[in-house]
Amino acid sequence: MDQPLLSFEALAKAALELPPQYVERRISNAVNGGEFAMDRLDDADAATVIRSINTSGNWVMLRFVEQLSAYSGLLDRLMDQIGPSISPSTGPGLTIRGFIFISSPGTLTPFHFDCEYNILFQIAGDKHFATYQPIPPWLPLDRHEAYYSAGNNMLPWNDAYEAEANIHQLRPGDALFIPYASPHWVKAGAEPSISLSITWQSAWSQSVGAAMQINPLLRRCGFPTGDLPAWPKAPKWRSLGCRVARKAGLL
Ligand SMILES: [Fe+2]
């Protein structure tokens, strides 16, 4: 993708334009099973970190870049192109968001899952992107449920998972679809990397999220929770129950 908005310099400027709470600086040498360890942004601003990403030992995430009108336009144009392809597989895209990752060489993004659909566009540098099915043992049910109460999306790691990964080698111009909640870890190659993620929800993923949120309450009350239905079948009763429980202040 030859796109001036996605050059290192354009992203350094975008990092200063975004409200600071949407710009995160993280360490590049995290490990699977660990956390997204943060680095402070008070010794260098985000633009300086991005301009020196080759040596800074960091990766920077720009969250919700659609807040900047130029990037909102870019996401709209992308969604116009990919929307007809994704709708048959996920239903219409809702709550569309953009994330940009600028990574030092060798950055490891540790094992985690995201409760949204994602297409990652590799813009600069290479990435080794490892994915797993969104089922146990890689995604334990209690972790999936806990995400909707506590927001933690990190996952426990077992060294045996290394050989079980589906590895996708991404080079500039490649794109990868990551299904809802599919666990993954990512390793950047020998050059600084830029990736753009466009993420979205669907009516189905919102319904699944509601079921995950209400499951613990149902279990405490002695009700069955059942398996997660495969798309397009949605857990409609649990989803309805979740909306009622939210209104009643039970969740
Ligand atoms: Fe992710």
Mark whether 66 and 95 lie in a shared domain. Answer: yes
pTM of the model: 0.88
> Which of 186, 201, 216 is the C-terminal boundary of a domain?
201
The range of the structural domain enclosing residue 219 comes to 204-247
Q: How far is the CA of 113 from the centre of ligand 1 (A)?
A: 6
- The 10s digit of each residue's pLDDT in 58-77 is 899 999 999 999 999 999 99
Contact 114, 134 (CB under 8 A): no
Facing residues of 176 across strands?
Answer: 120
Q: How far is the CA of 158 from the centre of ligand 1 (A)?
A: 18
Q: How far is the CA of 77 from the centre of ligand 1 (A)?
A: 23
Neighbours of ion ligand 1 (CB under 5 A): 114
Whether residue 136 has a cis bond before it, omega within 30° of 0:
no
Contact 152, 194 (CB under 8 A): no
Q: How far is the CA of 181 from the centre of ligand 1 (A)?
A: 9
Mark whether 30 and 100 lie in a shared domain. Answer: yes
Mark whether 119 and 230 lie in a shared domain. Answer: no
**Is residue 29 helix, strand or coil?**
strand
Q: Model confidence at 122, in pLDDT bands (50, 70, 90)?
A: very high
Q: How far is the CA of 42 from the centre of ligand 1 (A)?
A: 25
Contact 191, 126 (CB under 8 A): yes
Q: How far is the CA of 248 from the centre of ligand 1 (A)?
A: 32
- The 10s digit of each residue's pLDDT in 187-235 is 999 999 999 999 999 988 888 888 888 777 777 777 777 667 777 777 7
Q: Which amino acid is at 213?
A: Q
Mean pLDDT of 26-39: 80
Q: What is the CATH number of the domain that holds 194?
A: 2.60.120.650
Q: Model confidence at 1, in pLDDT bands (50, 70, 90)?
A: low
**Nearest-CA neighbor of 197 among 102, 131, 67?**
102
Mark whether 33 and 91 lie in a shared domain. Answer: yes
pLDDT for the residue 193: 97
Q: How many domains in the chain? A: 2
Mark whether 121 and 235 lie in a shared domain. Answer: no
Residue 116 has pLDDT above 80, yes or no: yes
- Residue 239 corresponds to which tokens in the numbers above? 């989803």
Q: How far is the CA of 99 from the centre of ligand 1 (A)?
A: 10
Return the higher-pLDDT residue of 36 and 145: 145
Q: How far is the CA of 165 from the centre of ligand 1 (A)?
A: 15
Mark whether 38 and 89 lie in a shared domain. Answer: yes
CA 174 to chain centre: 17
Mean pLDDT of 145-172: 94
Q: How far is the CA of 114 from the centre of ligand 1 (A)?
A: 5
